[in-house]
A = this chain, B = another copy of it.
Amino acid sequence: MNAILRPSGRTPAQMREVRIERGYTRHAEGSVLVSFGGTRVLCTASVENRVPGFLRGKGEGWVTAEYGMLPRATHSRSDREAARGKQGGRTLEIQRLIGRALRACIDRGALGERTITLDCDVLQADGGTRTAAITGAYVALVDAVRWLRARKEINKDPIFGAVAAVSVGVYRGVPVLDLDYAEDSDCDTDMNVVMNDGGGFIELQGTAEGHAFRRDELDALLALAEQGIGELLAAQRAALENT
């Protein structure tokens, strides 16, 4: 019965197919194409030997993110932000979230005075672009750190733990995992959850789109998120196994 609830035919606790493809482009120190079903995000990690002004001379590094959406990643074409002359509020909000999420698993002292920038560009959007971006950017970050270690630029691994993200929501009264676009644009509650591999919460952003959500709905959503993130962490580990 639930099987017919979701437009995609998925069961409530079923994620879309997740694919993580390393080395997707050639120049970046880390380059990952991550797919959550029809959502495809190219995440590159770029290493630079400088830090923002507020960190200069402190012996610490920085991890930051930028997010973009190709104009026709979506159903109808949206304006190119570079042509409009500014990044929109949604873009800024998402890239700030990605940056915070990844800084939560990095020892900035061990990284040294360098910046790793994670560019997350959405080639195709079908809901959940920010959670896919975080999940893929983590893998790109690991690759960039491996590149630094292979060149002996740093000798201690600055990454502790792993980070992944998933969305959950109440769709037609039922808590479901990993919303796609059809669900996202028609749900009552939408929550993005970022967790680490120790089971701790890094970020929680829930919004009531329709009616306010109750505490028991919140509990059900958190349980689904925890399950989904477990699967994502496994997918990351599998992708990172082959060197």
For chain A, residues 14 to 32, give those with C-beta under 8 angstroms from any C-beta of chain B. 25-28, 31
Residues A75 and B214 in contact, CB atoms below 8 Å apart? no
Are the C-beta atoms of B200 and A119 separated by less than 8 Å? no
State the CA gap A121–B124 with chains docked (Å): 13
Known: A70-B44, A83-B87, A85-B86. A207 touches B214 (CB 8 A): no
Total interface residues in chain A, CB < 8 Å: 66
A26 CA to B46 CA in the complex, in Å?
Answer: 28
> What's the nearest-Cβ distance from chain B to residue A94, in Å?
10
How many copies altogether? 6
Contact of A214 among B27, B85, B90, B200 (CB under 8 A): B200
Q: Main SS of the interface on chain A?
A: mixed
A174: interface (CB < 8 Å): no
Report if A201-B222 is in contact (Cβ < 8 Å); known contacts: A80-B119, A82-B81, A124-B26. Answer: no
**Given A27-B124, A70-B119, A82-B82, are A46 and B77 also a contact pair (CB < 8 Å)?**
yes
Q: Is the CB of A212 within 8 A of B201?
A: yes
A202 to B211 Cα, complex, angstroms? 8
The answer to whether residues A201 and B195 also contact, given A70-B44, A87-B82 and a CB cut-off of 8 A, is no
Q: Does A108 contact B (CB under 8 A)?
A: no
A80–B206 Cα gap in the complex (Å)?
Answer: 29
Q: A77 near B104 (CB under 8 angstroms)?
A: no
Chain B residue with minimal CB distance to A66? Answer: B80
Closest to A75 in B: B27
B218 pairs with A199, CB closer than 8 A: no
Q: Which A residues, 25 to 75, have Cβ-Cβ distances below 8 Å to chain B?
A: 25-28, 31, 38, 40, 42, 44, 46, 48, 66, 68, 70-75
Are B213 and A208 in contact (CB-based, < 8 A)? no
| A125 nearest CB neighbor, chain B only | B27
Q: Which 9 A-B pairs have the closest CB atoms?
A: A200-B212, A89-B92, A81-B82, A46-B77, A204-B206, A44-B72, A82-B82, A28-B72, A25-B124
Please name 12 pairs of A and B residues whose Cβ atoms are closer than 8 Å in the assembled complex, sorted by A.
Answer: A26-B126, A27-B125, A28-B72, A80-B82, A81-B82, A86-B86, A93-B96, A196-B212, A200-B208, A200-B211, A200-B214, A202-B207
